[in-house]
Structure 1
Amino acid sequence: MEDHLQKKDRLDKEWEALCSYQAEPAACAVGQEEQNVQRNRPHGILVYDHSRVILKPENNQSRSDYINASPIMDHDPRNPAYISSQGPLPSTVADFWQMVWESGCVVIVMLTPLAENGIKQCHQYWPDEGSDLYHIYEVNLVSEHIWCDDFLVRSFYLKNVQTNETRTVTQFHFLSWMDQNVPESARTLLDFRRKVNKCYRGRSCPIIVHCSDGGGRSGTYILIDMVLNKMAKGAKEIDIAATLEHLRDQRSGMVQTKVSSPLKEPHKSAR
């Protein structure tokens, strides 16, 4: 960090190198198959063939194993710490809840408003009240708590109607992070992250993180969380560029914008 502050052009040079970085392997053939194209957001991110969430086709209403979501590993290559997903489309809501169920997820981090400047960013995949059935997954809205102007927390009671098993899932919804931009307040985003991690503490399942395409905002949040977790564990050196390359090896488009203007906090910078 001291080196970044002393060498003002270092961030620009690192970003230029990251923009030209190519993951290997980077094949995306499955997401481009005819039956899967409609399950992707138009002009959105495609999942790598080697790094994608695979659904159980026998539990899927279309008998498909495809969803536009990527497991993201941190230090344990066997267990993903996160799943970075595109926001559900009207046709993929049941697939999304299947992924929530099969991954054992209990925490969802949503980083986009449902619509932005009249453009749909994500389909509402939960009921306004009561419960809705998405294929074999019944979702009941238990509570909705507004923490501040920037984010709220919803609690869902999720039931697999085939097995009658149930689970509580908590969704943390950050409202004020616009596409291709940064949150207005760094402190608010860090408060949001602390609440997410307090709810998640002690769990071994992945956190599902999504924005609209599962790239820019999702990648930024995961990068921040990953780096701060390493710092909290006493890591002596943190290489943010290398960590981002590690993320981009698992999903393309992770962190899409470099912003060097200060956030609306005293003595803070969006670096």
Structure 2
Amino acid sequence: MSKDNPRLSRLGVLAPAALSACMDASVLAVPAAGAIVSTVLKELSKAFMLKKWFHGVMSAKEAEHLIMEKGKNGSFLVRESQAHPGEFVLSVRVRGRVSHVMIRRQHNKYDVGSGEQFDDLVGLIEHFRSYPMIETSGDVLRLLQPVSGTRLRAHDIDRKVQEMQEMEDYQKLDHKSGFDGEFQSLKMLEDRHVFTSHEGTRPENTPKNRYRNILPYDQTRVVLRRRDNRQDSDYINASYIRSSRLSDSSSSVQSSNESLDSVKSLIINSDTKKTPPLVTKSLSDEALREAKKSFKLDKINGNLCRDVTVKNKAYIAAQGCLSNTKDDFWRMIWQEDVRVIAMITNEVENGKKKCERYWPLSGHEERFDGLTVKSISETHYEEYLLREFDVCDDKNCRVVFQYQFTAWPDHGTPGDPDGVLSFIDDINRRMIQNSQDTDAPEQNILCVHCSAGVGRTGTFIVLDMLLDKIKTSGFNCDIDVHSTVKLVRAQRNGMVQNKMQYRFIYLALQEFIDSRNLKLRKKMQVNINILCGATDRLSSASQLVKIPIS
């Protein structure tokens, strides 16, 4: 008998005779391990890619806690039974409680004991979203909104990271919890290619791939302009990565007339101990207006000091150059009008060649196909280098900046997120400056590469996307690491290679938000001190007695 079984609903939909079978999980045969994997990959791929309601292996208790905490009546999710892998359960919140419905699979069809059968889980869920189920108690199970277990408010990042770490510490032998659990749910799609990779496997193109198993999708690859009408001249192992708008539909909207007393509530993760009020004096209306102006209260989301971000940013994720692809790389940079390159690898790591030097030495110039690349400057920082190049064809010249991060090990992560955050910040400042130049590119494209162009490259791109959202929408916005990784993996296979890199994204976001909060608190306190001092001076001046001159 399944541990989930006592919680399952007694359905009275269209086929009451089928209820007894639905109620008893022991009737449902547990498939062999190979069949489980096949079923999950085949039947759940659409759910992973297009829906937010599938949560992988989860107990009934975990589902109830998640739905009661983050959902409302009509919220639902689908999970794989913890007691019986390969079987699925629909959990729905109704009238302040959570009801669990066993999903049976017989003869390659899915049903819930109602009489209708469906080819896959997506079809089943979509049907019952339109035609609700009815329990024998008379309660209607309406599937109104899916519950996402990986989405969170940016200012809740500390709590999320702590919960994930505690889960891993408590269940060290269980790879289905914490960061590892989230990452493993992504790996279920690794062998499921939504797009094709035919071009990368052509005999004339295989010498241009650094790794045989890292190929761009045909549908998202960068296509070079052909040379001499040669078919192989349009191939490079690089992919376009675009971020759909990560909108925040649920962020709070606060009035621009918000009183100064509520400013304290905008400081995220403030100390739990009782703090003295920010303003202890009664300010005039004019002083209050000045205070709000000084604090730069965001009129849209109630957030402080939103940053300027690069508009219309897109990415190219590429592998590190081979000796025979350097010309192609510069052709791509010129064709796509890329002005900034982020290189996240060293030329040699652990005695292995990771990327050929595709740029001229300091003070020199080199010819790459029809382009001349001249080194203008090279600046060394603690964890990265900045190189500036003049790139010219026969008619025009452009300045291209290359940022090379040197402290990120292959298949690993940096020891501290601070260096990467500074690296990203400097790159974005440069892109903003470029967009304001008279010869600014039509679109702001950032080319990112490591060695394979998926691990460190994917981690960088996902982190930059999420940081941009926080900078644009503030700490009240929703962020979703899991969904953002899925987004970039749908455009280049294998992005974010391992759970260490997946965890690093969370830790870097946490570090960014915590450090930004600290800066905001300090800035607000300085402004308040200035305002209170000005108020004191105004109060003293108003009490001076004017003596008329005789």
| TM-score with structure 1 setting the length | 0.89
* Equivalent position amino acid for 1:167 in 2: R
* Equivalent position amino acid for 1:220 in 2: T
Once the two structures are TM-superposed, the CA of residue 233 in structure 1 deviates from its matched residue by 1.4
SS in 1 for 2:325: helix
Partner of 2:188: 20
Once the two structures are TM-superposed, the CA of residue 185 in structure 1 deviates from its matched residue by 2.1
Between the aligned partners of 1:63 and 1:115, the Cα distance in structure 2 is 28
1:147-185 Cα shifts (integer Å, max 9, x gaps)? 22x101000000113xx2110000000011110110122
Partner of 1:226: 465
Q: Cα distance 1:39–1:232, how it changes in 2: closer, same or farther (>3 A)?
A: same
* Equivalent position amino acid for 1:13 in 2: G
Matched, 1:173 2:404: yes
Q: Cα distance 1:167–1:145, how it changes in 2: closer, same or farther (>3 A)?
A: same
Partner of 1:53: 222
SS in 1 for 2:185: helix
Between the aligned partners of 2:429 and 2:160, the Cα distance in structure 1 is 32
Once the two structures are TM-superposed, the CA of residue 130 in structure 1 deviates from its matched residue by 1.3
Once the two structures are TM-superposed, the CA of residue 25 in structure 1 deviates from its matched residue by 2.3
Please provide the CA RMSD for this pair. 2.5
Between the aligned partners of 1:5 and 1:43, the Cα distance in structure 2 is 38
Is the CA contact 1:111–1:173 (under 8 Å) kept in the aligned structure 2? yes
State which of 197, 201, 212 in structure 2 corresponds to 1:32: 201
Is the CA contact 1:112–1:212 (under 8 Å) kept in the aligned structure 2? yes
Partner of 2:392: 159
Q: Cα distance 1:83–1:59, how it changes in 2: closer, same or farther (>3 A)?
A: farther
Q: Cα distance 1:255–1:21, how it changes in 2: closer, same or farther (>3 A)?
A: same
Between the aligned partners of 2:409 and 2:161, the Cα distance in structure 1 is 26
Partner of 1:139: 373
1:38-77 Cα shifts (integer Å, max 9, x gaps)? 010133510001110000013899861110000001137x
Is the CA contact 1:141–1:155 (under 8 Å) kept in the aligned structure 2? yes
Is the CA contact 1:25–1:50 (under 8 Å) kept in the aligned structure 2? no
Q: Cα distance 1:268–1:199, how it changes in 2: closer, same or farther (>3 A)?
A: closer
Partner of 1:99: 332
Q: What are the ranges of 5 or more consecutive residues in structure 1 without an aligned counterpart?
A: none
Once the two structures are TM-superposed, the CA of residue 21 in structure 1 deviates from its matched residue by 1.9
Q: Cα distance 1:60–1:85, how it changes in 2: closer, same or farther (>3 A)?
A: farther
SS in 2 for 1:91: coil
Tell me: higher relative CO, structure 1 or 2? Use CA pairs within 8 A at least 6 residues apart. Answer: 1
Is the CA contact 1:113–1:175 (under 8 Å) kept in the aligned structure 2? yes
| TM-score with structure 2 setting the length | 0.45
Partner of 1:67: 236
Is the CA contact 1:61–1:135 (under 8 Å) kept in the aligned structure 2? no
Equivalent residue pairs, number: 262
Between the aligned partners of 1:258 and 1:40, the Cα distance in structure 2 is 25
Is the CA contact 1:44–1:213 (under 8 Å) kept in the aligned structure 2? no
* Equivalent position amino acid for 1:38 in 2: P
State which of 300, 320, 323 in structure 2 corresponds to 1:87: 320
Once the two structures are TM-superposed, the CA of residue 28 in structure 1 deviates from its matched residue by 0.5
Partner of 2:449: 210
SS in 1 for 2:234: coil
Between the aligned partners of 1:99 and 1:80, the Cα distance in structure 2 is 17
Once the two structures are TM-superposed, the CA of residue 12 in structure 1 deviates from its matched residue by 2.1
Is the CA contact 2:316–2:448 (under 8 Å) kept in the aligned structure 1? yes
**Structure number, greater radius of gyration:** 2
Between the aligned partners of 1:184 and 1:86, the Cα distance in structure 2 is 24
Once the two structures are TM-superposed, the CA of residue 123 in structure 1 deviates from its matched residue by 0.3
Once the two structures are TM-superposed, the CA of residue 226 in structure 1 deviates from its matched residue by 0.3
